[in-house]
Chains A and B, each alone.
Chain A
Amino acid sequence: MSPLVYYLFTLAFFVFAYCILGWGLNLQFGHGGILNFAYIGFVAIGAYVTGALSLGKPSGGQSYIFGFSLPFPVGLILGGLAACVFALLVSVLTFRRLRTDYLAMVLISLSLVLYDFINNFVPLFGGADGLTNVPEPFADALGLDTNTFVPFFAGVSLLVALLMWWVMSRITNSPFGRTLRASRDDDEATAALGKNVFKFRLISMLIGSFYAGVGGGLIVEFAGAFNTSAWLPGETFLIFAAVIVGGVGNNKGMILGALIVPVLFTQLPKFIPDIPGHPGLILNIAAMAIGVLLMLVLWFRPQGVIPEKKRLSKLPPLSERHRSTGAISAQLTTEETL
């Protein structure tokens, strides 16, 4: 297989993985209005747990917990659930007490502390060295080598992504999704209608974290290794940028966002040769470009490339059903967008 095709499959994999990550954050932030600045931490937990469960007993100077050699989807699902459990802990401690900005402060701190802790506490997930030689799923059973594994696993990830897209659109189109968006736009009014805003946010946080964990798990199984350099707290911003560029509160836009931001701005620049004497300059410039791109999108097109669609009621407007109370217009059946 030519290097170009191999490379395209690698990029395709990252699009699928970032779609999953983006949908999770989109549920929390786009639909729920939770500024989860620790999102990459949940991705990392999913990746570490999936990796450590899929690996065998630690050997050769590696150290990590678990090591159960679990087969493919089991480790991935448990990784997602681990991220969920962590999210439950965090949400119960913080959601009731804090308004948006305090919550963001606490979450960004959490992200840094988690990073610092996993980096220092070697017995947990190998410290700064992280996990290496994570088995490639099905590679032994199907006799895949490095060349054939990449397209194969890109296909597997596509299936996982499609499944998760379907589930996510069911969630966001359900009454649950509607209430969540209502609480994003005006939490007091939603609470006044008898909805338990805390519960809705908690559930969106849990589902979103499951997506984060599964996305992280796919990445560790694809790359075969994971360490702290892969999830610097700034990575969270990358996923935020993808969600905002693609379109907040919009699952389809996310695919475009995953194509534009993580792939075009971070995976591609990794293959541009370094400018002699300035190692890492290209990646620095790419990161700055993402920041600038995000600000431009927020200013000129805050609804994103593909805007969140106004979800209108299928019923005829109230004014046509009850001519006498025509003053209450169709506005009541539309949802305010951002």
Chain B
Amino acid sequence: MSELFLAIGFGLVVASVLALSAVGLSLQFGITNYINFAFGDFMAIGAYTSWTLNTGPLHVNIWVAMLIGGLLVGVMAVLLNRFLLAPFARRFQKLFYILIVTFGLSLVLLNLVSSIWGDEVQRYNISNQAPQHIGPFLFTVDQLVVIGIAIVAMLAIHFMLTRTRIGKSMRAMSDNSTLAMTSGINTGFITTLTWFLSGLLAGIGGTVLGITQASITPGSGETFLFVIFAAVIVGGVGSIYGAMVGAVIVGLATEVAALFIDPSYKLDIAFAILILALLFRPSGLFSRPGKA
């Protein structure tokens, strides 16, 4: 029984990492209506930037480094959209052009990361902490902080989307961007802002992924991308709340399943969930009309 609680506890940590990244991916998908296949590499760039800040001569505190890394990826995402993705999306009507461009971008960024930082496994400079009992669960302080960051971020996004003018504009654009434009919403600004938020969440997600997995490699973001896909598809592509729920389902399921099967097949569990979701509810739990 105690093992089950341990697994659930770690599942919640994974779910937190997933929620941050899945919401980042979904926000951008809702506005631009195409999947960013380079999202995993955005995460890797965030993870390595904060690693350099954290372990380099500056010795920045890991959480501050995480935030700086996130902001940097946010700016990078805005620039990539402005000068690469947006022109392609405007020029070609067919969806697959832009998908191939993001796929190609992921190859470029992956190799950029490994030529700058090398292929060796890196770690953050964080002290080893004894796990603490919290009820039946066992968490390190860092894991609790990660869960806290995810909860705060999700609440912030919820309030932004429901209470602020910018958030409402985002929802309007994601429902019908032409109508939003004719209603006087500055769609260019909202798109830029969304890319920034998506990059910010990717950067933060990449760093917390590195913290919770206790390792960073150039490809870890790309491998994690498909766990994000599983969460996003289970929740319903483009739905922010769906991404949150999907993250919890996939995070818990993969960690609890690791009790019963060899943990090296954890990824396959996420894929099995993805397939089951496609078979029984292809539009996801929180599907929206027209998006499935």
Contacts and interface: CB of A to CB of B under 8 A. Distances in A.
Interface of A: 29, 33, 35, 37, 93-94, 97-98, 100-102, 104-106, 108-110, 112-113, 116-117, 120, 233-234, 237, 240-241, 244, 278, 280-281, 284-285, 287-288, 290-292, 294-295, 298-299, 302, 338
Interface of chain A, helix or strand or loop or mixed?
Answer: helix
Interface residues of B, number: 45
10 contacts: A37-B103, A101-B95, A106-B278, A120-B264, A237-B103, A280-B115, A284-B111, A291-B104, A291-B107, A302-B92
Contacts, number: 118
Nearest to B113: A284
B97 A113 contact: no
Given A112-B223, A116-B268, A120-B265, A288 B101 contact: no
B112 A104 contact: no
B267 A101 contact: no
A237 B107 contact: yes
Contact of B107 (A94, A98, A112, A288): A288
A101 to B, nearest CB: 5
Given A97-B282, A112-B223, A284-B114, A104 B108 contact: no
Interface stretch (B68-76, B162-170, B225-233): B225-233
A234 B225 CA distance: 14
B35 A98 contact: no
A111 B231 CA distance: 17
Contact of B37 (A108, A281, A288): A108
* Chain A to chain B: the 3 pairs with minimum beta-carbon distance, closest first: A291-B108, A109-B226, A284-B115
A100 B99 contact: yes
Nearest to B101: A295
B278 A117 contact: no
A287 B88 CA distance: 21
A112 B226 contact: yes
Nearest to B227: A109
Nearest to B95: A100
B107 A287 contact: yes
Given A100-B95, A302-B92, 18 more contacts: A35-B96, A37-B37, A93-B275, A100-B96, A102-B237, A104-B37, A105-B35, A106-B278, A109-B229, A109-B271, A112-B222, A113-B226, A280-B115, A288-B107, A291-B111, A298-B100, A299-B91, A302-B97
Nearest to B271: A113
Contacts of A102: 233, 237
Contacts of A113: 226, 267-268, 271
Interface of chain B, helix or strand or loop or mixed?
Answer: helix
B115 A285 contact: yes
Interface string B16-60: 000000000000000000110100000000000000000000000
Interface in B75-115: 84, 87-88, 91-92, 94-97, 99-101, 103-105, 107-108, 110-112, 114-115
A244 B100 contact: yes
A112 B103 CA distance: 14
Nearest to B115: A284
B133 to A, nearest CB: 33
A294 B100 contact: yes
B84 A295 contact: yes
Contacts of A98: 278, 282
B99 A35 contact: yes
A240 B100 contact: yes
> Which one of B35, B104, B110, B230 has the highest number of Cβ atoms from chain A below 10 Å of its Cβ?
B104
B125 to A, nearest CB: 24
B265 A288 contact: no
Contacts of A110: 271
Nearest to B274: A109
A26 to B, nearest CB: 14
Contact of A237 (B104, B267, B275): B104
Contact of A288 (B111, B230, B267, B282): B111
A242 to B, nearest CB: 13
A287 B41 CA distance: 15
A161 B17 CA distance: 47
